Structure 1
Amino acid sequence: MPQSEWQVLIKEHHEGFIDWQTYEANQARLAANTRPGPHKAGGAVREGSALLQGLASCGHCGRRLKTHYRGRNITPGYHCAGKTIVEGRGCYSLNVGGVQIDEAVAKSFLAALEPVKLATTLAAAERLEADTEAALKQWRLGANGRPTRPAARSAATSPSTRTTGPSPAGSSASGSSAL
């Protein structure tokens, strides 16, 4: 549904993964990539496993590289049709296999994420622990704000509520008088 048809929009209502400007930029990019018009470059990923399809450019002429797949394993490759015509056919000014390029891009991407990976993992673990503690507290209190039976039973039998040493008034733990 287009944003113009939304009934309610409250910007910055709660913290999101991305800010509003980034969201709008992403939406504009997606809209431009969806169905580019004739003779217009669209960067939408169509099909296949090539990571750079629609994104890579030719170093010779600057045109967007096309993606092709070869062989039984359907390995990706990139080529530029270029602007040169030889014997009535377009001549590729660039034709490279995509496996090594895609691996290098993936390694670079993961290396760029490395500094934030530990911080993100720790933040996620802390959030999970806080959520677990909150759920346990809610379970212990129950719906009415009073401890539930299992929680009350647990509190009654916890080591902190047990008495040690001689019983008061000379009685034994079972309530009968000492012999």
Structure 2
Amino acid sequence: MLDEPMNGLDPPQIREMRDVLRDYAAAGRTVILSSHLLGEVEQTCTHVVVMHEGRRLAAGPVAEIIGDAGALMVGTLEPEHAVAVLRAMDGIEGAEPHPGGVLVHYDGVPPSAVVAALVGAGVPVDRVGPSGRLEDAFLALIAAPGNGDGAPGDDGLASPAGSDLVGGQGGAP
């Protein structure tokens, strides 16, 4: 169990610490860390538990907490063209222009097929990534009405006051 393992480290040491944690988890061990550096948690952990005022608000795989399952951000300088191509595709539930690209909601089609369709239609694609960030999900969870109604921190991971995020990697979450 580690509390803020990346805090105060320089970039080379942060990378080394990430590697150490991943190697430890790859050996079948569970690593539990507590951190407010949500970008690091997102890069390092496979599962998270969001705590606020001693209550668990959410727990699960990072992608589920972020809400990335079935959503993707595609970077392009031609968002209108991309939206037209995507809306004509089977398996696309929605496509909306966003700053720097298009937010795509899909079901039953792999992300690689989304990119292939865009490139095949002449849409320049410069990046593809998750639709959200852990920080956004965390802030939305703690700001949601009734957030004090989360399950009590009966899993031994309760934060005595304020908000916290516990991340885990490897083994059972």
TM, length-normalised to structure 1: 0.21
> Whose Rg is larger?
1
Richer in helix (by share): 1
Richer in strand (by share): 2
